Amino acid sequence: MLTWEELENKCRNCYRCSLGQTRTNLVFGVGNKQSDILFVGEGPGYYEDMQGEPFVGAAGKLLDKMLASINLDRTQVYIANVVKCRPPQNRDPLPDEQKACLDYLRIQFLLIKPKIIVCLGRIAAQAIISPDFRITKSRGIWFNKKGIDIIATYHPSALLRDESKKRPAWEDLKSIKKKYEEVRNLQ
Ligand code: SF4
């Protein structure tokens, strides 16, 4: 098993898919490597690519507010993406790009050993829960894979585009808070 340092170096030098050719910076992931809860988005956008950090633009500010609403902040959680390099023009990462990069995310799962994974948006949910996952139909439902509780909710970008999604997202956040408290109380 790779160490964190070895994994990050491997990703920094990765050209397993074409996104490696066009990235400005790798967006490896940030946060607490001992956290019980991991948030996974889709891929870096413009600002993330410029700064090498996930969720730093408007969607990032909203994610911070979402975390604060359940008494969490970035020092308490780990945040990563399905792909670690920016897809051009912020298009969806292609299936072969996701497949190439998911190996790295899986190693991050093994290193962090989270009890809870929150998929932010359809791409993350399809990559982690099921390829036919439909976010409008199955968000807010808990799944369990290999002992990890997994849920999907709307991506913050989707909430910025469509106000009507905020209420269901809030319901999901309350469910995530409850599950996180259960997990913490069991320790
Ligand atoms: S997106 Fe992932 S697999 Fe593709 S080049 Fe970047 S680190 Fe490698």
Instruction: State the CATH number of the domain containing residue 22.
Output: 3.40.470.10
Question: Which ligand 1 atom minimizes the distance to the CA of 21?
Answer: 5
Residue 114 exposed, middle or buried by CB count within 10 Å (0-12, 13-18, 19+): buried
| Average pLDDT of every residue of the chain | 97
Distance from the CA of 172 to the center of ligand 1, in angstroms? 30
Q: Which whole number is the average pLDDT over 74-89?
A: 97
Residue of minimum CA distance from atom 3 in ligand 1: 101
Question: Which ligand 1 atom minimizes the distance to the CA of 20?
Answer: 5
Q: Which whole number is the average pLDDT over 37-54?
A: 97
Q: Which of 43, 35, 24 is nearest to 105 (CA)?
A: 43
Mutate to test the pocket of ligand 1, among 27, 48, 101, 106 (most ligand atoms within 8 A of CB): 101
At residue 186, the pLDDT reads 83
State the pairing for strand pair 37-41/78-81.
parallel
pLDDT band with cut points at 50, 70 and 90 for residue 41:
very high
At residue 83, the pLDDT reads 98
Distance from the CA of 6 to the center of ligand 1, in angstroms? 15
Encoded tokens for 86: 């920016």
**Predicted confidence (pLDDT) per residue in 132-183, tens digit:** 999 999 999 999 999 999 999 999 999 999 999 999 999 999 999 999 999 9
Backbone angles phi, psi at 134, to 5 degrees: -115, 120
What is the spatial distance between Cα 94 and Cα 83, in angstroms, rounded to a whole number? 10
pLDDT band with cut points at 50, 70 and 90 for residue 113:
very high
Given a cut of 90, whether residue 1 has pLDDT beyond it is no
What is the spatial distance between Cα 127 and Cα 147, in angstroms, rounded to a whole number? 17
* Domain with 61 in it: 4-185
Is 109 in contact with 69 (CB distance < 8 Å)?
A: no
Q: Which whole number is the average pLDDT over 74-97?
A: 97
Distance from the CA of 59 to the center of ligand 1, in angstroms? 22
What is the spatial distance between Cα 159 and Cα 167, in angstroms, rounded to a whole number? 10
pLDDT band with cut points at 50, 70 and 90 for residue 49:
very high
Distance from the CA of 65 to the center of ligand 1, in angstroms? 29
Q: Enumerate residues lining ligand 1, CB below 6 A.
A: 11, 14-17, 19-20, 83-85, 97, 100-101
Q: Which whole number is the average pLDDT over 82-96?
A: 96
Distance from the CA of 186 to the center of ligand 1, in angstroms? 36
- Give me the number of domains the chain comprises: 1
Q: Is the pTM of this model over 0.95?
A: yes
**Percent of the chain predicted with pLDDT > 70:** 100
**Predicted confidence (pLDDT) per residue in 117-143, tens digit:** 999 999 999 999 999 999 999 999 999
CB-based contacts of 156, cutoff 8 Å, min separation 6: 55, 59, 60, 62, 63, 66, 120
